[in-house]
Amino acid sequence: MVLLPLEQADIPQFKADMQEAFQLGYEAEFGKSEEQILPEQDIDRSLSADGAAAFKAVENGKMIGGAIVQIDAETQHNSLDFLYVKYGVQSRGIGRAIWSAIEHRYPDTAVWHTCTPYFEKRNIHFYVNICKFHIVEFLWEHHPSPDSPEDFIGDGGEGMFEFEKQMR
């Protein structure tokens, strides 16, 4: 697996694969949903943010995952907005390889930030036990994130964990 910068031509497939991975993860917990769990506008907002960098994970010429990060060159407090592994190829160490490649690409990072829904036990395991992040906050209806849109449904109404990883 290699991690390469996302090219303009890759964006439609990147978005579709990411949306499918998030949708099926949500539906595995809550059942079929007619609502799009990860709206395209959320991906677009991340892709167009200041400091955004997007990557595709490629194996044997096929895109098998990817990530979007936000890099703050001044503070080096960077964020992982999205990391996904294409549905059907999970549990092969691809997420770990993606994250490792990102860490190596940004060695000056002081702190990484990310979040994941409370119900995503696999993601919580991945960030805490594999990537060595620490849970620093729990966001839910009585303690919401100021950045979450009013119509946010991606947490299934159960809240989100925020994570940090101190690098130095």
For the chain, the structural domain boundaries read 2-166
136-148 tens-digit pLDDT: 988 766 666 666 5
Q: pLDDT of the chain along its 168 residues, tens only?
A: 999 999 999 999 999 999 999 999 889 888 999 988 899 999 999 999 999 999 999 999 999 999 999 999 999 999 999 999 999 898 899 999 999 999 999 999 999 999 998 778 888 999 999 999 999 988 766 666 666 555 554 455 667 889 999 998
Written as one letter, the residue type at 4 is L
At how many degrees (to 10) do helices 11-30 and 40-48 cross? 130
Distances (CA, A) of 22 to 12, 45, 100: 16, 17, 21
| CATH class of the 2-166 domain in this structure | alpha beta
Cα 4 to Cα 64, 70, 79, 150, 155: the distances in Å are: 12, 16, 18, 34, 29
